[in-house]
Amino acid sequence: MEDALRASALGDRLRSAREARGLTLDQLSASTGISKAHLSRLESGARQPSVGILVELAGALGTRVGTLLGEDAGGAPLATFTPDAPRHTAAGLEIASSSGFPGSRALEVLRVHVPANRQPSVPVRHRGEEWIYVLRGTLELEFDGALHELGTDMAAHFDATRPHRLSAGRGDAELLVVSADAHPDLTAIHH
Domains and CATH numbers, the chain: 2-68 (1.10.260.40), 88-180 (2.60.120.10)
Q: Report the C-alpha gap between 112 and 100 in whole angstroms.
A: 16
What does the pLDDT look like over 7-56, one tens digit per residue?
A: 678 888 899 889 888 889 999 999 888 999 999 999 998 888 888 888 88
> At 76, is the pLDDT very low, low, confident or very high (cuts 50, 70, 90)?
low
Looking at the chain, which runs of residues are DSSP E strands? 88-90, 93-97, 108-114, 129-136, 139-143, 146-150, 155-159, 164-168, 173-180
Please compute the mean of the pLDDT values over residues 136-145 and round it to a whole number.
95
Q: What pLDDT shows up at residue 188?
A: 37
Please state, in angstroms and rounded to a whole number, the distance separating the CA atoms of residues 91 and 47. 9
Check residue 183 and give its pLDDT.
39
The reported pTM is 0.66
Structure confidence by residue, pLDDT tens digits, 87-100: 888 878 888 888 87
